[in-house]
Structure 1
């Protein structure tokens, strides 16, 4: 069997790409669905999720590389002539599905890699010795969420295209009985001799445009609109205090499977009473646990094995603001998951007129709050949790 295509059949190189990529795509879809269905409660269950997603990502990268090579090879090859040149609509649909499949073979693993690159801290490593992240892609939870929406929706579109492709092959094999399958699966010499075909450059171009339209519509449907996807500012409800927070972030950092993951609480309020002259005051912060955004593990983090948002919807930091040699510090009690622990939060403070900016960070041990008690070691989830804030407040 020769490497190049002929007017009657595909060569062995095209056949290798076709069947290898087909098997890998089906494996990637199955692995993704399997990994998403796994429970995430106990430590060994989380490790199983990490392993499944790592294999899924590795298979996806393999598909991306092979798909790019296949497209380059296809562009250098003539395609076997159609057996039924008179069936123009059928030929057009088949061509459009082929183009959509080729585009999907690149887009889907690429968006998966973009998701992996943008997700803060990463989630399940790609099993290869090369780099984990694509260059130029920032770690951004909102950006990762956009890629995730497209990736999840796109897999179903790709699955639908595969079903159309298979349905077409079955039609040729069982209804037309025209030997089309032997062009890709049988012996090339036994493939039927096609009739002469007229040039169809315009038809190929229109089919390619139709394929691009399919994936363009997928992007529009999958990615939320700007209003839905906008990051909400921290909730700073009116409170009886000397300072009102105008804007700010409350961030959290954990270590998962050896990699740091950053997130944020989208809803919280702070009652601040502070006298700049006395350099003393009091602060009470209420945090909505359900508003936590922590990448791919958000739901697990808010579940019963960790922060348990349904049972303990609010965390509280109640502290006195004191002046010390190294700078101001908020010293008091941090309550998480129903357990209160003494806590100290050093921070930097700059006051200009009636505007104050402050930022600080503290580290706590999740075991002190009974969070993740089923994870007795740090191989899956680290003990240390970083909590930081950055805000601007106005004097009332």
Structure 2
């Protein structure tokens, strides 16, 4: 009070008001312990302090001498957040207090965010921050509620998903860009604890990832949120992989084909719209995702079905690339086909090399070098011709 009264006017009044508010907040924070108030009264006092500082943050610029650069709203908002965190930590002593405090804080910050959204006379910075705090405390409330009911962690994860789903629905109806972004970001972050809680149960984790993908896909439908579609695709893919892992599927193609097929479809659609797109951009990633892991698996597979199927698929890709003059399928398919054939022929090559006289392989190598040297100019022209042909492919 003395500080606020001493600077009743002048350029230093905003700083004086911020300092006075900080001192008053510190007094209110230590007062319950100083007066040895009961536990419930201490919680109530901290809650009142949180509400008071939050109100000061919202209405701080409406004083007698409003200043655009006044630090009062930001100071009051910071104090409100610190007090709310301290209140939550203080409430952890009992289950009832924890649920009551988290419910009260969720409602308090939600009410302030709504108030800021409905009027432009309040400090605009309060809206996004209060919305983010409301979402965070709602997620904490969901976790505390599930724990109080005795649920398993992977069951609590499904309850926590209500928060990002609600945030996505609310964000679609908000008009303020900053408030919308705050709700969307904190809602997305609230999905991370759900994944962490479900990680002990793979089927539930797959369900949680799929539901998060649904939320992201719903967000991607909105104008200006197309990038969320990539997150939705990644979440659906992760859900598929986790489900396969829960079924103890160890075939790599089961994990890679769900990526290759849609990636190739997207590549075909993109090249149909723009023929100048390179085949490496359209098909390179999709083909590599399946061909490379399958080749690695085939080299360690003693049976014949996988190498045979891989060779047939690589041959088909090579022929399609040659027919349509596409560089990526031609090179990837032929490389995988050659390495697959080398792996299958390697035992026979070793047997034949062991049966031949020791002087014969060096002699054949020397003859090959002589033939290459005699036709060096022709080989150079052939190499340039192949490079030109590949260079004309897209």
TM-score for the superposition, normalised by structure 1? 0.21
**Greater C-alpha radius of gyration:** 2
Q: Which has the higher strand share?
A: 1
Q: Which has the higher helix share?
A: 2
Flag the structure with more relative contact order, 1 or 2, with Cα contacts below 8 A and sequence separation at least 6: 1
